Amino acid sequence: MSFPVSFPTSKKFLAAAALLLTAATAACSGSGGGGGGAAATGDAPAGGKVTVRWSTWGSAEDVALFKNFNDDFMKRHPNIVLKMETVPKYDDYHPKLLTQLTSKTAPDVFFVGDDNIGKFVAAGVLAPLNDKLAGPDSKSKPEDFFEGIYGGAKKDGQIYGVPNDTNPEVLWYGKKALKDAGITEDPAELNAAGKWTMAKYLEMNAKLKAAGKAGSIFWNWYGSTYSVIGGFGGKVWDGGKFVATTDPKSRKALETLAKGYADKTFLSADVLPASNSASTQILKGTAGFYAGGRWVIDALRKGGDLPNYDIVPFPSETGQPMPGAVAASYLALNKDSKNAKEAFTFLTEFVSKDGQLLRLKGGGAVPSIKGAEQVVLADNYPAHAQTFLDVRDTGFANYPEEVAVPGLTKDINDHLLKLWTGKVPFEQAMTELQTLVDGKIG
């Protein structure tokens, strides 16, 4: 939500947060917010300094975190001036960036979301990074990052974007809500014992529903949906083919979700009213589980009894750990940058261990690089904070096959939301979804 930037990278959550940039944006960017009129030549100010333009999307809180890094970087590199250009809304960011790249007015370095990275790789607008990352000037080697989170940023062994941070998808739960529903077992303890199964999870959801509560609240994005499919032992992609609608276990997972949404055992955060949002319900104890990343901590700190909440990975079919979904965003280098050397210096330091320790302190993201785990563990919260790291270490960003097709992830999510909200019956939804995907990748 990166966020990814701790919160932003996960686009689904963006809709939930009013991403309004304040005057802090201009103060941080030194460029008035990134119009894109200047070509990616890095206009050199007086004194022979080199200007590196970089862009992202995000909220005022994200901007404040970036300001700390920008200021620190420019102190250490007095020959480089950073100009940060921001776009408030995630949905507006990538179309604008593509337009800038086409007109040769794009920034030198820029964020790309995990559901858009494949489009940019295919367009040939990103500089390959393998040699630069492995070189003597790099502060972030290719092997410093977990393979699964490269996602669509890696193609044919070449890296085109570096994960700047992550948000593993986990299940937050309220201990009091579970207790009020007559649930005596603790999910995190079951997980530690190898007994956290999909069957046990669904049993708890049924008890919560019987007690007049929602079982689980999900955002409609691949992280939650594909995690549930994995929990049933199903597959989403297999050999380059979309099989979520045909694999028996995957169909069972999707059908279980559809039935759960229909009887209100599950709620879609995307369609909840602002007065009774997902965060409100988990805080009030009217829902037992809430699927999200480390960014949820912010809502709990503002209104919750912190010890009441803990996290657990999505359950598996057998109770043994399984790969989980990880929201990610990437920092990429403009292939046409006229200041490639300075731009790479910024990129590699931004995603380095020291860079992430500085940027993510006090934020809601999980480092993408090895060695910065103290960001997650320093506060000893939640009690099982290690779960974030466990899911990151073995997890996956959105499937390369999916993100390589422009707009495919959004189309899948939009079609599934019709199923979740009862606008399309299950069998029809499966047929139409398969046709949609086949038509896109055909």
Structural domains of the chain, with CATH: 11-167+327-394 (3.40.190.10), 170-312 (3.40.190.10)
128 touches 49 (CB < 8 A): no
| The total number of residues written for the chain in this structure | 442
Q: Give the pLDDT of residue 63.
A: 73
Look up residue 73 and give its two tokens.
Answer: 């970087």
Q: Give the pLDDT of residue 60.
A: 74
Average pLDDT, consecutive stretches of 10 residues, N- to C-terminus, the chain (442 residues)? 37 36 31 36 62 91 81 97 93 95 97 92 96 97 95 95 97 98 98 98 98 98 97 97 98 98 98 96 97 95 91 98 96 97 98 94 91 94 97 95 91 98 98 97 86
pTM as predicted = 0.89
Look up residue 50 and give its two tokens.
Answer: 């080199």
116 touches 332 (CB < 8 A): no
User: Containing H/E element for 111?
Assistant: strand 109-113
Q: Give the pLDDT of residue 47.
A: 64
Cis peptide before 321, with omega less than 30 degrees from 0?
no
Contacts of residue 292, Cβ cutoff 8 Å, sequence gap at least 6:
13, 169, 170, 172, 219, 278
Cα end-to-end distance, the chain, whole Å: 31
Cis peptide before 5, with omega less than 30 degrees from 0?
yes
- The candidate with the shortest Cα–Cα distance to 320, out of 235, 193, 225, is 193
Q: Give the pLDDT of residue 84.
A: 95
Q: What is the DSSP string of 135-181?
A: STT-SS-GGGB-GGGGGGGEETTEE--EEEEEEE-EEEEEHHHHHHT
